Structure 1
């Protein structure tokens, strides 16, 4: 396989992560336009939005097999182009069925891109012989900020939704055009089975990934209700908690590779889990508003590098093909984001929202407790 440790290849990997974050963020400001255009209620809209998750999960399962056989490059290119081409269609779908199908394909493109770019990132990082995964994941967060801001800016100029998405799609296509020749031609391509049942340390890594994403999804959907219900902020400022979490998450990932290189994967998982759990304690137990909000910063900083380390370990374990392992943990993580908030809602209804968040704290404590098991597994060597 061609030389993987070169600046051009790292740039291509970063562009793939950037496009993934940018693409999904461009859709978020368009949701009210879709609701008004189709004149659907919240229940129907919720079912339509579920099509993104369904498409993503199904494509993630298939992408592991495709990437294991053909390599990550063609899947990354197809996924990125798919996101760019489908995005404008979301603004002109004239019926709920048409929008549902478009959202399914949009989610499938995002899901396949997500898995393939992580497989590619594992290969590039292994060739470099030093941590790079946190920086790659930081570009996903940067893409999310850029996508939401750029789309909101275009819409605020009274540019039509279709025209706005065409401009955003053009930027994504340019990024994929730049990335394509610089991607590894056959990262992780191998002969062998197209499906292997997750087992051993991969199951553990998948579980920890699901827990981490579950906590992130709960913060996205429920943190505003928590802090407004506790009187920490007024209703109009309910989003400040997740904003602080997202800023800390991005900052933690931008510096995470240097931190991981210095202290190692095991310590990163241990201290990341401890700091994130401590952030929940501060958020839930502090009687002072400013200190409680600081808990979001601690959660974001602590959790920021847990998932990059887990992806690295999934790509380096020897129990099953790396591409299939990464597909498994990506699917589990996405399931955590989808199912987790609903689970929090059920617990909140029965026991209260604060109790549900205390349970998230307990779950997060599993991460540092299992760090030794995850990092003790035999790893593939760089080469």
Structure 2
């Protein structure tokens, strides 16, 4: 009896579909760990360099700015050389940033290191999402929320692991080096699983696509990513400071606020593929935005530590599937390479990551972090009102 070969397996040099799925999950996990390891470092760096909220907010511009600078070029590089080459090379270089961030001795060094970290993280982000779209296309199932769920697990693991190592008495540089080595070894191990982009999907789009201006829909999807990334960035850069400065938690424990956010986001994303298949992307975005709005208001308006942690959970649940819906839609736009359309959406998203934490810092300096979080709730409400656009 003749069988139909796996389209991924028969691509020139490509990994099998199960292997590609596993490698994709791992690189999302690695990226999440790398990014979230920075969150518990923020209070230490702020105190070590003697920065106020506005100064820290200005320095954080470099993180999102680095990602923004790299993403438009990464879309072209990934389409030209393949997602695997970008993921592996940028992934290894990304790991070098963590020990450097733990040992910054000046504002200039902090800005330069955050810029470098953002460039490498942005490169991995675009390439891994483009590869994920190809794997999703091959399988015929919704997988993007699940992949992003592993990113959220990484967000939990990185923040909790570094906080745990610090609580055990390990110095910040030693803890960062330990995590960086583990991540680099993982990237080297999974590189064969990413072997060979799924070539027939590349041919499908390549015959029609030209690497020019992305379509208008990619920009519209990117605007929704803009707000979602602002919300996620506010948790990454300000949740620990909010718990320490406003709710009075000790610095060694403040990173667990981001861990609560990441746990909830992971849970939402692991159930997201089923929710989207059952209720559709419009319902998913609309309800998710509403839950996230409630979470921000709870954090800002109820002066209790447990209420704040619950608010972080609601923000994670609500925001969990907005970005995967946008990336999946962008990656399937007809006549456009996935790496290019995803680069457009992620670039606008990282504009949000860039402007969000910095804007929160300026608003917090002028008023308070609570007021800044209320403003963030208002922007997410606009996403909910615009949810019909994802149809």
TM-score by length of 1: 0.79
- Which one of 88, 98, 105 corresponds to residue 87 of structure 1? 98
Question: How has the CA–CA distance of structure 1 residues 21 and 42 changed in structure 2, closer, same or farther, with 3 Å as cutoff?
Answer: same
- One of 47, 51, 75 as aligned partner of 1:42: 51
Match for residue 173 of structure 1 among 184, 198, 207 = 184
Q: 2:118 aligns with which of 84, 96, 107?
A: 107
- Whether 1:235 aligns to 2:255 is no
Which residue number corresponds to residue 127 of structure 2?
116
Q: Provide the rounded CA distance (Å) in 1 between the counterparts of 2:243 and 2:42.
A: 25
Q: CA deviation at 1:83?
A: 1.6
Quote the Cα distance in structure 2 between the aligned partners of 1:291 and 1:99. Answer: 33
Tell which deviates more after alignment, 88-97 or 67-76.
Answer: 88-97
Separation in structure 1 between the aligned mates of residue 96 and residue 366 of structure 2, nearest angstrom: 44
- What is the aligned partner in structure 2 of residue 312 from structure 1? 328
| Partner residue of 1:333 out of 338, 342, 349 | 349
- Listed as ranges, the gaps of 5+ residues in structure 1 are 376-383
For the residues of structure 2 that align with 1:208 and 1:144, how far apart are their CA atoms?
Answer: 22
Residues 161-210 of structure 1: CA deviation (Å, up to 9, x unaligned): 55444432331122112311111512575658785334421111011111
Cross-structure match for 1:130: 141
Instruction: Find the counterpart in structure 2 of residue 371 from structure 1.
Output: 387
Mean Cα deviation higher: 24-33 or 324-333 = 24-33
How far off is 1:129 after superposition?
A: 1.3
Does residue 297 of structure 1 match 2:310? no
What do residues 232-252 of structure 1 show as CA deviations (whole Å, max 9, x unaligned)? Answer: x84338968655443322211
Equivalents in 2 of 1:345, 1:30: separation in Å?
A: 17
CA separation in 2, counterparts of 1:121 and 1:272?
22
Distance 2:377 2:259 in 1: 20
The residue that corresponds to 1:2 in the other structure is 8
Aligned partners of 1:283 and 1:295 also within 8 Å: yes
Question: Does structure 1 retain, via aligned residues, the 8 Å contact 2:247–2:304?
Answer: no
Deviation at 1:70, TM superposition (A): 1.8
CA root-mean-square deviation: 3.8
Aligned residues: 370
How many Å separate the matches in 1 of 2:260 and 2:142?
25
- 1:31-70 map, 5 Å: 40-42=49-51, 49-70=60-81
- Selected match of 1:268 from 277, 284, 292: 284
The alpha carbon displacement at 1:329 in A equals: 1.4
Q: SS state of the match for residue 185, structure 1? A: coil
Distance 1:201 1:92 in 2: 42
C-alpha distance in structure 1 between counterparts of 2:192 and 2:63, whole Å: 29
* Unmatched segments (≥5 aa) in structure 2: 1-6, 10-14
Q: Describe the shift of the 1:67–1:359 C-alpha distance in structure 2 as closer, same or farther (beyond 3 A).
A: same
